[in-house]
Structure 1
């Protein structure tokens, strides 16, 4: 929900740093992989309850995530780079929740499972829509610089980062915060499924009507 406002604010500093990294010969995929490796350090740090150090590596991972996108656009983005970026992002998100579950299983495990279930809903609806949007040639009017169509909702990247920060600063309240965030994810999943279904249905109907018109009119443009 907040990404449409936070991403434009961050674009200028990301571009400034990315330009200098590009001049040094650093590639987007290298930053993606390095950021992911750093981010995974959060799991043992959280499991051993080093929450502030975990917050540091989480922050570094998110900085890398912003920089790799800008680097990709400077070098001209690729489909395989966008694929790598989004897959590793989802793995990282799940890894952070796993770290909190390991830190205090008796208190955190159930809430962590509920949040991971929410992540499954938001992630699957997000990616499934992206596949169909590509097939139907749908374009996002909000996130035009992304590698594929983003379906927005209450729980996006900014909200995830804010909750991760809260988890690290208030680890004794992880369970409560995780249940709240899980609820936000459930609402996001429901709205994405419904709006995605209607959008795809409408777009597919227009495509079918155009194809039928062109067939009946011997290939003339019917748009």
Structure 2
């Protein structure tokens, strides 16, 4: 919901850093892979209840996710780069919640509900992109990415905020998972309605 505003704030700083990296011939895919490795570190620390370290690596993972996009736009976007970016993001978005099940099996019900809600939002996200591309619908400049992007009330910023809250307020993790999962289902419904109206028009 706030991704657009956040991106406008971070874009100048990310551009400066991306320009520095491009001078050293560092590829955007390299940043993507580094970011995913940092995400695996976040998973490890969360499983072991080391939430401070997990928070640090969560931040680094998300920072790399923003940086690789900025670098790709600077040196030239590629289809394989977009593929790596999406796959690594979706894997991390699954790995992070699952880490709390490894930490305590009593978290299983709420985390499974959250993961199912992620599947719902991710499938509508990708299906919407495919349908729009298939039907050659016009994409506005502010939505210009490697694929068509439809927002919602639970986007990247809100998801990371949820993850941070899960680490900071672990005692309330089940409530957080159920609440955010419900918001994801609302996003799912709004996307379905949006696509139906778009295709009918």
Tell me if TM exceeds 0.5.
yes
How far off its partner does 1:137 sit?
Answer: 2.2
Alignment of 1:6-21 (within 5 A): 6-21=6-21
- 1:161-180 aligned within 5 A: 161-180=160-179
* Distance across 1 between alignment mates of 2:169 and 2:141: 33
Which secondary structure state, in structure 2, belongs to the residue aligned with residue 81 of structure 1? Answer: helix
Q: TM-score, normalised by structure 2?
A: 0.96
Residues 132-141 or 96-105, more deviating: 132-141
Shift of 1:8: 0.9
Give matches, 1:8-47, under 5 Å. Answer: 8-47=8-47
Residue segments in structure 1 that go unaligned for 5+ positions in a row: 203-223
Q: Residue 21 of structure 1: CA displacement?
A: 0.7
Indicate the residue corresponding to 1:50 in structure 2. Answer: 50
The aligned residue for residue 136 of structure 2 is 137
Instruction: Tell me: CA distance 1:152–1:200, structure 2 relative to 1, closer, same or farther (3 Å).
Output: same
Q: CA deviation at 1:132?
A: 1.2
Structure 1: how far apart are the matches of 2:158 and 2:142? Answer: 16
Residue 191 of structure 2 corresponds to 192
Match for residue 5 of structure 1? 5
Q: CA deviation at 1:139?
A: 4.1
**Counterpart of 1:207?**
none
Once the two structures are superposed, the pairs formed by residues 39-118 of structure 1 within 5 Å of their partners are 39-106=39-106, 108-118=107-117
Classify the secondary structure of the residue corresponding to 2:191: helix
For 1:156, the equivalent position in structure 2 comes to: 155
Tell me how large the CA RMSD over aligned residues is. Answer: 1.2
CA–CA distance in structure 2, aligned partners of residues 125 and 41 of structure 1: 29
**Structure 2 segments unaligned to the other structure (5+ residues):** none
* Deviation at residue 143 of structure 1 after TM alignment: 4.1
Report the Cα offset of residue 142 of structure 1: 6.8
Give the number of equivalent residue pairs: 201
Worse overlay, 144-153 or 48-57: 144-153
Q: Equivalents in 2 of 1:4, 1:55: separation in Å?
A: 23
